Structure 1
Amino acid sequence: MSRHVVICAGESSGDALAAGLVHALGDLEPGLRYSGMGGTQMRAAGVETLIDVEELAVVGLVDVLVNYPRLRRLFRRMCTHLEATRPDLLVLVDYVEFNLRLAAHARRLGIRVLFYVSPQLWAWRPGRIRRIRRCVDAMAVLFPFETEMYRQAGIPVRYVGNPLVDRVQPPRIPVHERLGLPGDTRIVGLLPGSRSGELKRHWPLLVETALRLRRSHPDLEFVVSLAPGVTAERLAALASAQDLRLHFVGGDAATHSLMAGADLLLIASGTATLEAGLLRAPMLVFYRMGALSHAVFSRLVKVKDIALVNIVAGSRVVPEYLQKDAQPERLAADAATLLDQPLDLERMRERLGHVRERLGSGGADQRVAEMAREMLLYGHLQDTTAVTANED
């Protein structure tokens, strides 16, 4: 009977990471069977998904509380699956609170657990490392500075690098060509996020910001990046943009083309800011969360910047607008100022050029697949002190 790996991702970014891992692990260990929870990319890689990421898309404390009964049912479904199948390995990709609970259940069943993508312990709630030590057999982390805290806690860890380095490359088809626009057309990209709560709070903000920008800069074209599962119709139901001419793109290739070719991005904080940074895309980063979620978050967070691109760069390379600062009049005014200052845009691009250097040389899919293979073969990592070439 073929060995069985259960792999669980709860968001579209984790779906992409998990799919890359499955492809790489399939090359190392052909014939493995995969099941779990994920999205379109995991299914395309051959994973039988019991739960789709769309069912798990919540953000913020209020959303979690409102959706708690449904999330609990989904959690029980995965627990039952683990009990029935007793897989050879459980790989958990990000989606921290749900997946750490699943890790604890797996530990009670004697199932080995590999956790891929560290929670941001360096930013908030560092005490979670004790919980991780109790239920996780090995950690695969994306940033070199994350390894030391796990080593000090006695948790087997490897820095595998960031898979975005391999996946985010200069596009082959420019965004102007994709959209049939003249090459000198000035473009502003709009990236509202992917989860329901984000879209509800961010899309009306972007529509109003774009309308203000259009009045001051009528030559601009606005291009919206649609995350997986998000449609133009879904956005229209949240806020009408009938007085605003919009273009829409979807999928990684088209989104990266937009990032690389836009004059400026208005982008919700998240993994997408790091993708944009790898393409040296000038951007304004914004984020709004529910009032209760923000009240809790602001008391726990320990970093001055929340945008991943700024955290990786080590300084505030791009502006951030959070909560009450994320207002259409301010975003529009600052965007207009930047668009009228080509030298400022170029300076931002130059500073963003260091992001790729800080993320290393790539190869993350292969490295985390090697970790999974070792755990399948030996039940543990062979060498927990190994340092990758990227950690210099």
Structure 2
Amino acid sequence: MSTQAPTIIPSPPHHQPLLIGLVANEPSGDLLGAALAQAIRAHCPTVRFIGVAGPHMRAAGCETLFDQERLSVMGLIEVLPHLPELFRRRRQLRDYFITHPPAVFIGIDAPDFNLPLEHQLRKHGIKTVHVVSPTVWAWRAGRVKTLRRAVDRLLCLFPFEETFLRQHAVPATYVGHPLADAIPLHIDQAAARIELGLDPNAPTIAVLPGSRVSEMQRLAAPFIATAYYCRQARPALQFVVPLVNARLRALFEAEWQRQAIDWPITLIDGRSHTVIAAADVVLTASGTATLETLLLKRPMVVAYRLHPLTYWLFTRLKLVKTPAVALANLLAVQQLAPEFLQNAAQPKQMAAALLAYFDDPERVAAIQAEYARIHSTLRCSAADRAAQTILELIAPNKV
């Protein structure tokens, strides 16, 4: 982390707090938003954040206009039933911020929701920042035109994104990833197991079936079956599952009961960092969890299932241009984590891939060394760099 003392930004005249719009649609964005809010507040103690916030952002002092979960939808077909509400919520946010103009509006990830909102607000003279680059380098490259229209600044979490976007005249700045700063380079596995009440000596697999309802509905069954086959092969194994909210916990427990599993599993409310740290190996849905697992230096198996029609469209139209799906593999520029997508996400095959790690310590050590190298490159005091960039953007008008 930076040791430089923060520059304190005074509030605007008339004792009005600096107003910043901040919208995060998903749990991963909630973590990023909380770190960003705390970093901005270090420079501007009286700042007021309002928009859409999850529990971490609310704990950091962000006000929310409605529940974040209303916006947490992913996929092409999956989103269709939710479109009326998504459009209504976006209009609600647009009208609010036009009526109460913030010094800057910050949209975190969720580009299909946030970029049109940012474009509308920018047309009304509101400065806009988008955090987390859309994967235009992987698919739907035409979105760079939308980015140029919608944002005054795009904050990238990974270095290769800034290079690509600047080549396409997008005002992009690489700031690093807050998770890389928050997670230490060296992990105490024994302490994590003690904290979670796990057997300190038992081989351990962490199971992360996703943070969205749609992910849980598609992945809970194959992930639980995978755990079953692993346990059959190695009865000493223990399993631990982090669940971000009560609804996902209920869905997972229902599937566990449906499969009539007769041995215990440890369910944890949140605390995914600690759960992954406690594990020897991780079975995870594709997404930010693969980055989290990389930063915690754990070998992983990655799986994902989309709505069948969504997957058909992706493959038929050749929308994805990258050789890997998991963020961990994209950062490593090699397939260190086996990927099981759609119909390939079969429990016996995933179990075999997980168990193979226990039999190959040299492979595990090589993976951990590469993950440690990547972690070091991403530690940039990201939240503070992002805060400085945002405050420099708004300072001419608001300070």
Partner of 1:13: 28
How far does residue 357 in structure 1 lie from its aligned partner after superposition? 3.0
Q: CA RMSD in A?
A: 1.9
The equivalent of 2:11 in structure 1 is: none
Q: CA shift at 1:242, angstroms?
A: 4.2
TM-aligned CA distance change 1:80 to 1:167, over 3 Å: same
Of 366, 372, 385, the match for 2:384: 366
- The residue type paired with residue 179 of structure 2 is L
Alignment partner of 1:61: what SS? coil
Aligned 8 A contact 1:62 1:290 in 2? yes
- Indicate which of 298, 307, 311 corresponds to 1:281: 298
* Consecutive unaligned residues in structure 1, runs of 5 or more: 381-392
Matching of residue 207 in structure 1 with residue 224 in structure 2:
yes
2-structure distance, mates of 1:93, 1:311: 21
The alpha-carbon distance between structure 1 residues 46 and 10, as it changes in their structure 2 partners (threshold 3 A), is same
Residue 105 of structure 2: which of 84, 90, 95 is its match?
A: 90
1:57-113 per-position Cα deviation (integer Å, ceiling 9, x unaligned): 212112210111111121111112112212121011111100011111102211110
* Structure 2 counterparts to residues 305-316 of structure 1, below 5 A: 305-316=324-335
Q: How many residues align?
A: 377
Q: Is the 8 A contact 2:156 2:162 kept in 1?
A: yes
Q: Partner of 1:48: helix, strand, or coil?
A: strand
Alignment of 1:196 with 2:196, yes or no, is: no
Q: Is the alpha carbon distance of 1:235 and 1:38 closer, same or farther for their aligned partners in structure 2, counting shifts above 3 Å? A: same
Q: Give matches, 1:262-281, under 5 Å.
A: 262-281=279-298
Matched, 1:129 2:148: no
1:300 matched to which residue of 2? 319
> Which residue pairs with 2:360 in the alignment?
341
Cross-structure match for 2:238: 221
- Structure 2: stretches of 5+ with no match in the other structure: 1-15
What are the superposed Cα offsets for residues 148-197 of structure 1, whole Å, 9 maximum, x if unpaired? 23323333221111111111222586232124333221111100010111
Residue pair 1:313, 1:354 contacting (<8 A) in 2 also: no
Give the TM-score taking structure 2 as reference length. 0.90
Equivalent residues of 1:116, 1:139 under 8 A apart: yes
Contact 2:338 2:353 in 1 (8 A): no
| Alignment partner of 1:158 is 2:177 | no
Instruction: Give the secondary structure class of the aligned counterpart of 2:65.
Output: strand
Asked whether the equivalents of residues 189 and 278 of structure 2 are also in contact (C-alpha less than 8 Å), the reply is no
Partners of 1:34 and 1:222 lie apart in 2 by 39
Task: Name 2:163's counterpart in structure 1.
Answer: 148
| Structure 1 match to 2:396 | 378
Other-structure match for 2:201: 184
Q: Does 1:2 align with 2:17?
A: yes
SS for the counterpart of 1:82 is helix
The 1:117/1:60 distance shift into structure 2, 3 A limit, reads: same
Equivalent residues in 2 for 1:34-49, closer than 5 Å: 34-49=49-64
Match of residue 351, structure 2, among 332, 350, 353? 332
Identity fraction in percent: 36
Determine the C-alpha separation between the residues in 2 that align with 1:320 and 1:172. Answer: 25
C-alpha contact (below 8 Å) 2:189/2:279 kept by paired residues: no
Distance 1:282 1:82, change over 3 A: same
